[in-house]
């Protein structure tokens, strides 16, 4: 094989300069008279290394035996005339080079580590007196020797042996560590709750959005049905009026045909000669006399536009209002016990199994299965009817805002309630056991009436207008409707009310309450 042509530095430099000037490798090869592959290799090297100088090769591991290395070193020293180490480039004083570089490196590492250990042990001695540090000054919080203890600096300080001081201070750190661990555990618990709340909020938002779309779709469907019904009524009226006009037009056409025939006969008689006319003439024929009645006046056949468009929005709104229901109290799902389930319109409450999605409850046996109304009252008179039906265990009433957090075990007043359990009715305040209440007949529906300004909470049977019980209390804060259901077979349902003039029913109930109390 021939010897590979070596490129001069001048060719390499010119190639680099021309490439930087923007020329391609083919143009450069023609200009310099070199091969395309040669110029391309130079340009590739410059792009990769940013230089055209030959780079050192990594090469493979040397597989020469230690004896071979010695022979090479001796030959190199004979030719160079001096014993220079190939590693550190200094004069080598030994006759033979070391045959195990790895062992030499380990020895150096060992010596370095030993020096570090010696320097660390040197730190255990007093830098002033050279004595071993055996005591610890509790005030200055640093190690001292036996000579330092007698000096003026530490004469009144408490100095303890190193081991004793270390044990005492480690106990302090353990206490601090325990506090940090408890805080760490608390933060992790709060982080877990936050993550659960994020998931719960996402689930709430999705469910609420679904219910909103469902209810608006019902409203849209109602409007579409109402629009279709009114357009149908308009088309029916249009068809009815059109048929009426068509019948009238048919009658007119019949009369017109009859008149045309009469006119034709009369004209023929007039056009005949006089003798024939006089021979046949017997007086004006009935066919030429329009003795019949003239066409009647056309009936009113126009579309009653005012009926279809007059107050259209208002009449549709009235019909929509009659079709919708108003619930005086809306249940708040954020206050519901995990065993309670609410309907989509937040008016019914069922008792069921523990819900893992509920937040704020960690113990399945904790508290009553209650839920509150979403709106609190701080003035005025309010009432709501609840269908209890055949429910075997229920409680209804109102609760003060300050007692909400401890509603499951109230230490004092704050919950005014009436309930039914084990076939008996009862009433009570706070979390105490219900006091038996005499009720003559089983109640299917309960009306709770709150007179905040008058300081009364009354319970009625609205089906018979029977007063059941009244609590008297001077309210000073907001109170919320309270519902408790522990019966899995029957839900508590808040009944809708009619959109009657405000205050009439409340005034009637207030009169009933006053009449009952006067007795």
Q: Are residues 348 and 471 in the same domain?
A: yes
Return mean pLDDT, the chain. Answer: 79
Q: Answer whether 439's CB lies under 8 Å from 446's CB.
A: no
- The confidence band for 187, taking pLDDT boundaries of 50, 70 and 90, is very high
Do 343 and 294 share a domain, yes or no?
no
For residues 113 and 177, the model is more confident at 177
Q: Return the top range by mean pLDDT from 85-99, 357-371, 418-432.
A: 418-432
Q: Among the listed ranges 17-21, 90-94, 143-147, 272-276, which one has the minimum average pLDDT value?
A: 90-94
- Residue 449: pLDDT band (50, 70, 90) is very high
Summarize pLDDT for 349-394 with one digit per residue, the tens: 999 876 655 544 444 434 568 899 999 999 999 999 999 999 999 9
193 inside domain = no
Residue 95 — φ and ψ, nearest 5°? -70, -35
pTM of the model: 0.57
Bigger pLDDT: 29 or 411? Answer: 29
Q: Are residues 388 and 349 in the same domain?
A: yes
Residue 118 domain-assigned (yes or no): no
Write the burial class of residue 441 (CB in 10 Å: 0-12 exposed, 13-18 middle, 19+ buried).
exposed
More reliable by pLDDT, 435 or 236:
236
Residue 47 has pLDDT above 80, yes or no: no
CATH number for the domain including 375? Answer: 2.60.120.920
DSSP 373-407: BSS-BSSSEEEEEEE-TT-SEEEEEEEEGGGSTTT
Q: Write the pLDDT tens digit of every residue in 464-479.
A: 888 999 999 999 999 9
| pLDDT confidence band for 118 (50 / 70 / 90) | low
Give the C-alpha separation, 481 to 401, whole Å. 10
Local confidence band at 445 (pLDDT 50, 70, 90 cut-offs):
very high
Please give the residue range of the domain that contains residue 72.
65-99
Are 338 and 260 part of one and the same domain? no
Answer yes or no: is pLDDT of 124 > 90: no
Examine the domain organization and report whether 312 and 444 are in the same domain.
no
Question: Does residue 104 carry a pLDDT above 90?
Answer: no
Same domain, 336 and 445: yes
């Amino acid at each position: 094989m021939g010897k590979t042509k070596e490129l001069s530095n001048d060719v390499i430099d010119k190639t680099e300069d021309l490439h930087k000037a923007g020329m391609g490798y083919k143009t450069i090869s023609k200009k310099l008279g070199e091969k395309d592959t040669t110029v391309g290799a130079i340009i590739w090297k410059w792009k990769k290394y940013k230089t055209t100088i030959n780079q050192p090769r990594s090469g493979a591991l040397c597989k020469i035996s230690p004896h071979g290395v010695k022979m090479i070193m001796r030959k190199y020293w004979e030719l160079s005339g001096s014993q220079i180490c190939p590693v550190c480039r200094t004069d080598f004083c030994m006759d033979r080079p070391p045959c195990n570089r790895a062992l030499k490196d380990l020895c150096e590492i060992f010596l370095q580590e030993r020096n570090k250990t010696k320097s660390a042990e040197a730190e255990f001695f007093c830098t002033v007196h050279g004595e071993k540090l055996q005591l610890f000054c509790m005030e200055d919080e640093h190690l001292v020797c036996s000579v330092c203890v007698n000096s003026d600096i530490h004469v009144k300080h408490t100095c303890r042996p190193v081991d004793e001081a270390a044990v005492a201070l480690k106990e302090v750190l353990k206490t601090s560590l325990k506090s940090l661990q408890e805080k760490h555990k608390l933060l992790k618990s709060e982080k877990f709750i936050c993550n659960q709340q994020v998931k719960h909020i996402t689930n709430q938002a999705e469910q609420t959005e679904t219910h909103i779309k469902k209810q608006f779709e019902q409203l849209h469907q109602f409007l579409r049905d109402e629009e279709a019904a009114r357009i149908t009524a308009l088309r029916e009226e249009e068809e009815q009026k059109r048929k009426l006009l068509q019948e009238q037009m048919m009658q007119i056409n019949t009369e017109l045909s009859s008149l045309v025939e009469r006119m034709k006969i009369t004209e023929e008689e007039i056009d005949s000669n006089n003798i024939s006319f006089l021979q046949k003439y017997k007086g004006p024929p009935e066919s030429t006399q329009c003795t019949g009645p003239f066409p009647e006046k056309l009936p009113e056949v126009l579309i009653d536009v005012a009926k279809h468009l007059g107050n259209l929005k208002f009449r549709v709104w009235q019909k929509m209002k009659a079709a919708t229901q108003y619930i005086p109290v809306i249940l708040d799902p954020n206050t519901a016990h995990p065993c309670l389930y609410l309907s989509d319109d937040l008016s019914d409450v069922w008792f069921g199994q523990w819900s893992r999605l509920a937040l704020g409850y960690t113990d399945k046996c904790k508290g009553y299965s209650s839920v509150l109304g979403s709106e609190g009252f701080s003035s005025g008179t309010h009432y709501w009817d609840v269908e209890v039906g055949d429910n075997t265990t229920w409680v209804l009433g109102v609760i003060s805002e300050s007692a909400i957090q401890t509603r499951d075990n109230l230490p004092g007043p704050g919950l005014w309630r009436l309930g039914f359990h084990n076939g008996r009715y009862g009433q009570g305040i706070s979390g105490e056991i219900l006091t038996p209440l005499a009720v003559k007949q089983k109640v299917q529906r309960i009306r709770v009436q709150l007179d905040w300004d008058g300081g009364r909470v009354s319970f009625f049977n609205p089906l018979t207008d029977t007063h059941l019980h009244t609590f008297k209390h001077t309210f000073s804060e907001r109170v919320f409707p309270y519902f408790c259901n522990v019966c899995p077979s029957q839900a508590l349902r808040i009944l809708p009310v009619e959109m009657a003039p405000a205050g009439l029913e409340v005034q009637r109930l207030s009169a009933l309450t006053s009449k009952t109390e006067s007795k």
